[in-house]
Amino acid sequence: MAQYIEIKTANPDSLLFYRMGDFYELFFADAEAASRTLGIVLTKRGKHQGADIPMCGVPVERAEEYLHKLIAAGHRVAVCEQLEDPAEARKRGSKSVVRRDVTRLVTPGTLTEDSLLDARRENVLASLARAKSGEDGAGDGYAYALAFCDISTGTFRVSETDPARLAADLARIEPAELLVPDAIYDEPAFRELWRTLPAVTPLPKESFDGATAERRIAGFFQVATLDAFGAFSRPELAAAGAIVAYVERTQLGNRPPLAPPVRESGGAAMVIDPATRANLEILRTTSGERAGSLLAAVDRTVTSAGARLLARRLAEPLTAPAAIAGRLDSVEHLADRPALRDALRERLAGAPDLARALARIALNRSGPRDLAAIGRGLMEGAAIAAMIAAEGAPEELMEAARDLAAPPPALPATLLAALADELPPYRRDGGFVRAGFDADLDATRALRDESRRVVAALERRYVEESGIRTLKIRHNAVLGYFVEVSAQHADKLREPPFASVFVHRQTMAGAVRFSSVELGELEAKIASAGERALALEQTIFDRLASEVLAGADHVRACAAALAVIDVASGLARLAVEENHVRPEVDDGLDFSILGGRHPVVEQALRRDPLASGGPFIANDCDLSPPARAKAGRIWLVTGPNMAGKSTFLRQNALIAILAQAGCFVPAASARIGIVDRLFSRVGAADDLARGRSTFMVEMVETAAILNQATRRSLVILDEIGRGTATFDGLSIAWASLEHLHETNACRGLFATHFHELTALAQRLKRLVNATVKVKEWDGEVIFLHEVVPGAADRSYGIQVAKLAGLPAAVVERARAVLTELESADRAAPTQRILDDLPLFASLNRAPPAAPAASADPVAEAVKAALTGIDPDELTPREALEALYRLKGLAKGGEGRAGPCHLLT
């Protein structure tokens, strides 16, 4: 316990997995926390300061399973191993404690084991740093930077950021763990952002010291200077240095095969804020599931690395037309060559995850199967390179082929010659080196295997001499080799002549165990041969691992190349299967989609056409600038619920993402000018943890759009203002639409049930009314899901309510109320706003003086009548009579402008 407390004191922020034989034990508060999280029994062991010591434990063989649960629950774990054999400890004295120490700190961002990771998803460790802006940090403001790596694959990137864009950047890279300086962690401005991340680890400012960061990074990559890696700003160096220091601290001397840091240029990727990513369900649905997302709909990759690369491309679509065209060329090349595409995919299906196998080898967490994966992957890569080079290909594919064909060619041949066909999961199991690869090992194995045959022969002789047919020679780690017989035969071995041969060792329930001098001597020979054979295999393993690490750069390049080819071939197959087309992407402001379809919904309808009511209906969308205009159009989409407005909005946003990610798109044709930022405000949800109502969340997201959208942005807005009172919501929607048109001047889709907004098309020249067609038949409404020019005059909400199963009496009462409400002239207030209220852009000027109210005798009479009424004192009959009197007075004012008209 003294040893445990000493090691725990050095790792206070982690649960300590303390190795004791075949178990990792936890004590004190660690045991209580682990017991709750893992659902395992909490027991006790001894006392400390007069109190029982809580304890729980997990088997070493199942440790990864329990580690996964603890990390997912937000814990960090320090793994404390036995660093010597117990026999060595006993040499120092019978009560000497086995030497132990922490060999690894397990955190969410530093996982490498396959069992702890999602094979088709990156596991990113990120860090945020800032430094004074200006020359030598003398500026008044701060410059921010992010560094992020995946130690399980070796990727390492840095980029500049700022507080306004930080949430979008973090949503793009999805860090499993974010490192931040203490000072930033404690700032109120960032607290809400930290709550949205799975794990945030504050570190002292020394970890982000920009003065020592360059030296720390150069030391990690064993170079004299970082000049060969490119130019980095001070905050970028500080962020990258913090990553390197944290990796060295958690891996305790083991160096993962990180690639040198690559600097991302600003504006290279479409900016998508967290709310938009959630609304569009790009990588996951709003419930956190992969199924039902855009990624799941378009993923046809056959390798884990390809799946990770596709997810990254969808998360960060490009903004450079030339780079996008390069990706599209690869997809088109393979879409037009089905034989080559299918042959590549068949080869790729047999390619293992090279990057993650390499990381485990570098961190000494690998087994024979990782070495075999490297060898097999490199062999498959060489074959794939030859297939691509034979037919010629676009530059992206040819570059991948060159990486796959680069030296060292001898490494895969060596690995495959050294390793057996059937491999154990762990190197400690032995038996993984192929017979004939090493002469010394073969000779030692022969001795070991011959000894085993001698044991079998000795067992047969003991059976014959004793006449006990059930006698067996067995082995375990405690007793070594022993003779085991059933309890009913044990007395026979205790009597002459066998008493002088067999020595009683252990009595079990139903069995008795004995040893013999002859068996002990044989065991020593077998142990010696087996231990030597295992030692030779370990030496061979280390030599092969060193050869792999010597070619780590080539292995890493091959892993990236295989992922590129997998993504291209998968997208090509998707294009052929789903009838996707190549989009035209340029620097303009066009956005013209003919026959656009929602990739997720279309596939869902095809899987279950009867339940859905038919195939997906394609629709056009043209947000391109009108003639001689310098900004794109905004479509105002009206129509009933359930008609498909939200689907139409989302599908066009998803088509933009797919096009700029380098994918073919679900449409008859598509011409898209680069979208720099994508904004989506779709759906309704509250945020109770931060004290925000549904409407408040809606307004916060809308504010972000109106404050940040540019001329090149694409904005989709659905039902702005519906979370508050009717006229409040109408006013907000009206003003927001004007602002998007006049100030943001962006391309947009604006869906609404405020039909009054359609009148804005009279004065906003780039605003286009569109509606979703419906058909009424025998009192029922049929949704045609077709978007056409024009405006809806009703929302068919009552018909939808009927479909939802509202009681018939409620539906009929609603119809009656709606008829009464619609009897009023609802167009007059809207028209008066159009006629009298200045356009949004001119509201920055001082508002005009309100016109003097003209006297209206009927209005005065109504006012007087209302003044004389006390609602709290009226009986129901008196209230009805008063209402009739007011109605009579109001009729005298019909046709006039003013309050009486509004009252009517």
338 labeled binding residue: no
| d(C-alpha 84, C-alpha 82), whole Å | 6
The H or E element spanning position 504 is strand 502-508
b/e per residue 456-470 (b: at least 16 CB within 10 A): eebbeebeeebebee
Tokens of 834: 């159009």
641 labeled binding residue: yes
Burial of 35 (0-12, 13-18, 19+ CB in 10 A): middle
| d(C-alpha 664, C-alpha 738), whole Å | 34
| d(C-alpha 637, C-alpha 399), whole Å | 45
| d(C-alpha 628, C-alpha 624), whole Å | 11
Under a CB-based contact definition with an 8 Å cutoff, are residues 14 and 39 in contact? Answer: no
Residue count of the chain: 904
| d(C-alpha 602, C-alpha 111), whole Å | 37
Helices and strands per DSSP (H, E), number in the chain: 33, 27
644 labeled binding residue: yes
Under a CB-based contact definition with an 8 Å cutoff, are residues 690 and 725 in contact? Answer: no
Residues 6+ apart with CB under 8 A from 190: 180, 184
270 labeled binding residue: no
Under a CB-based contact definition with an 8 Å cutoff, are residues 399 and 389 in contact? Answer: no
Angle at 476 between CA 475 and CA 480, to 5 degrees: 70
3-state secondary structure of 538: helix
Where are any strands of DSSP class E within 406-525? 472-476, 480-486, 502-508, 511-516
508 labeled binding residue: no
What is the phi/psi pair of residue 242, to 5°? -65, -40
Angle at 491 between CA 488 and CA 496, to 5 degrees: 145
496 labeled binding residue: no
User: Cα separations (Å) of 727 from 428, 686, 702, 848?
Assistant: 74, 22, 18, 22
Q: Please tell me what DSSP assigns to residue 616.
A: P
The H or E element spanning position 425 is none
| d(C-alpha 493, C-alpha 513), whole Å | 10
The H or E element spanning position 626 is none
> Which residue is listed with tokens 């003044």?
867
The H or E element spanning position 748 is strand 747-751
| d(C-alpha 261, C-alpha 246), whole Å | 15
Indicate the annotated binding residues for ATP: 639-646
Binding residues: 639-646
